[in-house]
Structure 1
Amino acid sequence: MRRIDVITVSLAIFVGGGLLYIVFQAIGLDGLSAGVWSQALLVIVVLAWTSSYLFRVANKDMTYNQQLKDYEDAVLQKRLEEMTPEELEKLQQEIEQEE
């Protein structure tokens, strides 16, 4: 997630909390109860957001990991393209021997 995305989501959560407060007051809760319920829902949302982030970290489904994998694939592809036909044949024989 890019920095601007985090700022946007954070701002949306902040504005959403204010809107929840207004909605709870509109349905008849007093100011204190509306504040408590809107904060409780915001805490749940933030915990869910944080847990989804931690889940992606645990599964290594992060942007950095994907960029690193793409780079490694590109390096290996470049090395294969630079190999002579004899080197490719030797590599293929080594792979077949390992299997």
Structure 2
Amino acid sequence: MRRIDVIVIGIVVFAIGGAGYLGLKLAGLDSIDAGIWSQLVLVGIILAWSFSYVFRVATKKMTYGQQLKDYEEAVLQKRLDELTPEQLAEIQAEIEQERNKS
């Protein structure tokens, strides 16, 4: 995520809070109650995002992890493509020998 994305998300969160406050005030709540409810909604949104972040970290579904996995697969595929048919047959024979041992 770029810095500008974080800034935009921060502005949007504050705008949602302000709009929620104004909406609740227009719905008839006094200033204190509207403030409490709008803050409660914003804290709920932030907690939900935080828990989703922790879940993505725990399951390694983050952008960096996916990019690293894609890179490793590309490097291995490139190495495989560079092998001669004889080298490939030799490696496959070694794999078969190891499978037969186990």
Same fold (TM over 0.5): yes
Name the counterpart of 1:88: 88
Q: State TM-score, norm by structure 1.
A: 0.91
RCO higher in structure (CA 8 A, sep ≥6)? 1
Unaligned runs of 5+ in 2: none
- Partner Cα separation in structure 2 for residue 47 and residue 94 of structure 1: 52
Q: Which runs of 5+ in 1 are unaligned?
A: none
Question: Partners in 2 of 1:94 and 1:6 — Cα distance?
Answer: 51
Q: Deviations over 1:38-71 (max 9, x none)?
A: 0011000000011111111110001111111111
Q: In the alignment, residue 67 of structure 2 is paired with which amino acid?
A: Q
- Matched ranges for 1:19-58 at <5 A: 19-58=19-58
2-side partners of 1:47 and 1:57: how far apart?
A: 15
Q: How far apart are the structure 1 equivalents of 2:11 and 2:97? A: 58
Identity %: 60
Q: TM-score when scaled to structure 2? A: 0.89
Structure 1 segments, 4+ long, off by >6 Å, are none
Size of the aligned set, in residue pairs, is: 99
Residue 61 of structure 1 aligns to a residue in which SS?
Answer: coil
RMSD: 1.3
